Chains A and B, each alone.
Chain A
Amino acid sequence: MKSMLRQFRRAPGRIIASIFALALAVGAIGVLAIPTISSGTLLEAAEGQGLADIIVDTTSLDQNQLAQINQIDNVAIAEGETTVAVQLSDGFLTRLIGLDFDNQTMDVVQLTAGRLPVEPDEVVASEALGALGDHLIADETSYEIVGHGGTLWWSDSDVLYADIDTVMTLDGGDGTNRLVITAADDSIDELRAIADEVRLVLDSGGDTYTTFPVYLPDGSTPIDQDIEQVSMLIGLLGIVAGFVALVLLASTTNTLITERTREVAVMRALGGRSRPLRRRLRRISLGITTIALLIGLPLGILISNFIARMVLEEFVGITPDFAIDWRVLIGSAIGVLLGARLVAARAARRVTKLPLAEALRDREGSPFGGRWTHRLAARVPTGGLFSRIAARESLHRPARTLAVVVQISAAVGAAFLIPSLANSVNEFNTSSHDVWAWQSMTVASDAGLPFADTVTAGSDDAESGIYVEAELADWQINVYGLETDTAVFDPRLSSGRWIEASSHEAVLSAGFAERNDLEVGDALVLELASGTFDYELVGLSNDFNRSAYLDRADLAGDLGEPGMANTVWSFDEQPDIVLPAAASTSTAADLAADDNAGRAAIVTIFGAIGVIVAGVAALAVLSSMTVSLFERRHELAAMQALGARRRRLRGLLIRELLPLGAAGLVGGLALGALGTRGIIGSFEASNAVDIGVVDAMGSIPFIAAGTFVALILLALVTVRSAGRRPVAVTLRGAA
């Protein structure tokens, strides 16, 4: 402790800067805990609420069918729920979820306030829909809000929960229309097998699925994939932050030990043994690292919880409890301490093994000229004297030069990666909308195909069609049933041709087809809600999506409802069509706004992490350069004694820093570009879609200017602070 205090008194500013930068870096590593915190919250919610393994909408089921489904092998329990679309008095279209509050084991409502409904006119609602005791008018019926809460499945929507009998009455009263199943073995293959068996049971009673089943295998939750992708990106940035932290740690530790070369040499000359001396040297860096950990670990916990909350509230609509990922906490503490120990050991060994006479004579322990590269550089005139000093100084301490370049690269990389990702996602969204020509899309609120496809007959500005989900090549895809002479969709075919009527032909997203080795002419086995159907792949569309485009009549027939539809696309933002079913209309502008809001949230989250990484790297550069200039203070003072004005010293430092900045800029841009490609590539692979990379070239001048301005400011500040001390005092300190 005493030696720590002595060290602190020797250079308080430098030690504080090192501790702070290191603590921030350790804190940034904390983002690695976000996936665990997010998953923990979701799993906890899933367990508490009994999230099902299979969720599917059906035509109306009676108790006998439900009993048969419960007899299927591997079905642990199957329950029915009923949902209907309702419109509130303010026009808000929502769903009324009917649950058997007394007996159900799945989708158990978690109350945050109030109680569960006991009367037919009572509901539980999300807080956004009203206060406890408020009355809501839904489809002309009044309901009192008696509780606040919800379930994980509907957590991203504002819905109402009522007793199942109440909702069944609204739905026609002849059964449930939503099936939730928990399996004994929840592997994906077993879940698919159950779904097939259930389909057969329904079929025998003349019923069918009205939506494609949602499978949640192996304890997963509905947004696992989103969380996983978000976490991957966060993890990558965490690794960058960790890497910068290690470089910073190495640089600081090396300097703290190296600057004591002479002191150690004196102790050795007086009979001090190397081993205890090395131990003392290591203690200094371990002490600084420990203090940094004491600040950095709580900071990491705060950062990870803050970002996890942002992610979950944005994507799931639930607020996670404060949590700590002990693995990340302990791992980062051990990693950083071990790193400090290793670097300190190496530096201490070097210092204590230096020839005694040399160490006593030379303050720095590594005089310039000791290596052939130094001697060679001394013979190569590189510009004026100051340019030579700058170039040789960089060569003198290659590890530090490399560290500074790496640190600048990390900051630049993070600064380039974020706008490139935003650009890529932006361009992807635009491209995925570009294939559609409609201005509004009206989709039936209930499952199935509730209206005839002739609903738009005679209209010049609207087309009816079908939008459902399906499975192809083990991927869940969007399926659109369109008129073959559709005007709302421009397929932008990359190969093949457009579909013909009633021929069971399909056009598929080109990126999806490529990633699944599908080519024009191949037979597609498409699993719809109603069963498996064969289509011929006749064309590939550059739609930046994961979709299949079919003849509307073919699709309606395969879904068991020929001549029916569930969607109307219109060239008018407010189509003048009356649908015989509850439906909600979204305009292209609405969807673009949603995209923008989602993208803004993602960019905010990743931008915040990017700022942390860039901040850590910038602090690391500042720390490294401050340490470097501290070591050279006598050299700078000697130049001042010879008549160097501050302008010349600034010039010298700028000459030293700019080449490092240029190298860091090039390296960082390459790093950012590679990182963007890696992240987008992984998104493309994990989603089987074309996204494409659009580098934020427009940001390069700003990043370059920012980098160079920051380095010039660093030189200005350093020389200014160096100039405050009388030259004689600095030089005397050298003696």
Chain B
Amino acid sequence: MNATSVLTRVPTAPPAVGTSLVEARDLTRIWGKGDAAQIGITGVDLDIRAGELVAVIGPSGSGKSTLGALIAGIDKPTSGSLVVNGKRIDRMKTDRLAAWRGGNVGIVFQDFHLLPTLTAVENVELALDLGTDIGRRQRRKMAVAALDRVGLAGHAKKLPAQMSGGEQQRVGIARATVTQSSLIVADEPTGALDQANGHAVFELLAGLAHTGTTVVFITHDLNLAGAADRVVSMIDGRIESVPQSGTTP
């Protein structure tokens, strides 16, 4: 049985490669009010096609993480519209948005955010538990396979505290990819890693894009960004430039 065929709670079929997966229009995120208002992003228009590997770059505070959080559905815009995989996620209520995330997006964090009390395989399995209706045995098989794909089959029963940063991040990637979501949002996934581990992680993500998964990759590393299909450069909460696929800003 193909693993994908048992994903019984994937709400939307992945779009064909080349069609638009993310459509952001006049997207704005502001925290606070009046003088205390803090602008995350403002007036962002962005389209990301299915199967694209998009790098989002920019200096600290430019709004790239905010944009990533909005696309991943872990934050809500103050105004504007955001359609991901055909759904207006900016209008979704908390629980519906959570369910949507579970089936449609994989998130890779800079700080890994693995659950400290779960082993590597259990952490990966958790994503399937939350995002799908797959049975326990099948979940375990898929989690082990996902760990195998990131080269950590031998570390399945280790706790996060027993693993290095690079290993933890690879578990994070396995967790993000195990549900075979059409979109992966990785927020500075190499930020806490050394160069070798950083490149390894990037390779894994780039490999996903080659299989048709859309990857939004937020980074400071221009070298890694240069290898993306497209680079979105942000400054002061706005998109500075959206160069053509395969070029650097």
Contacts and interface: CB of A to CB of B under 8 A. Distances in A.
Interface of A: 362, 364, 367-370, 374-375, 378-379, 384-385, 388-389, 392-393, 396, 634-635, 637-648, 723, 726-729, 731-732, 734-735
Contact of B130 (A375, A648, A731): A648
Contacts of B126: 385, 639, 642
Interface string B102-125: 110001011101111111001001
Q: Ordered nearest first, which 10 A-B pairs have the shortest CB separation?
A: A643-B102, A369-B161, A728-B69, A369-B159, A728-B75, A367-B161, A392-B117, A638-B113, A727-B74, A643-B130
B115 A639 contact: yes
Given A367-B161, A639-B126, A645-B95, A734 B113 contact: yes
A642 B107 contact: yes
A55 to B, nearest CB: 71
Contacts of A392: 117-118
21 contacts: A369-B161, A378-B118, A378-B157, A385-B122, A396-B117, A639-B130, A640-B74, A641-B101, A642-B175, A643-B100, A643-B103, A643-B130, A644-B102, A645-B99, A727-B75, A728-B66, A728-B69, A729-B75, A732-B69, A735-B110, A735-B111
A642 B95 contact: no
Interface of B: 31, 65-66, 69, 72, 74-76, 94-95, 98-103, 107, 109-111, 113-119, 122, 125-127, 129-131, 136, 157, 159-162, 175
Tell which of B65, B69, B95, B113 has the most Cβ of chain A within 10 Å.
Answer: B113
B156 to A, nearest CB: 11
A647 to B, nearest CB: 7
Given A367-B161, A731-B74, 18 more contacts: A368-B159, A369-B160, A375-B159, A378-B117, A389-B117, A634-B113, A635-B113, A641-B72, A641-B109, A642-B130, A643-B100, A643-B131, A644-B98, A645-B99, A726-B75, A727-B69, A728-B69, A731-B111
Contacts of B129: 384-385
A648 B127 CA distance: 13
Contacts of B102: 642-644
A393 B101 contact: no
B162 A369 contact: yes
A640 B114 CA distance: 12
A368 B94 contact: no
Nearest to A389: B117
B117 A643 contact: no
A648 B118 CA distance: 16
Residue among A396, A643, A647 facing the most chain B CB atoms (10 A cut-off): A643
Contact of A369 (B99, B103, B116): B116
Contacts, number: 117
- Counting chain B CB atoms within 10 Å of each CB, which of A368, A374, A644, A728 scores highest? A728
Contact of B119 (A378, A644, A648, A734): A378
B164 to A, nearest CB: 10
Given A368-B116, A385-B122, A396-B117, A646 B75 contact: no
Contacts of A726: 69, 74-76
A638 B125 CA distance: 14
B98 A640 contact: yes
Contacts of B103: 643
Given A367-B161, A648-B130, A388 B122 contact: yes
A367 to B, nearest CB: 4
Nearest to B106: A642
Contacts of B69: 726-728, 732
Contact of B116 (A367, A641, A723): A367
Contact of A645 (B98, B113, B157, B162): B98
Nearest to B31: A729
A370 B117 CA distance: 11
A648 B103 CA distance: 16
A645 B101 CA distance: 10
Given A728-B69, A728-B74, A643 B98 contact: yes
Contact of A642 (B117, B127, B159, B160): B127
A731 B113 contact: yes
Contacts of B175: 642
B117 A368 contact: yes
Interface hub of B66, B98, B118, B127 (most chain A Cβ within 10 A): B98
Contacts of B161: 362, 367-370
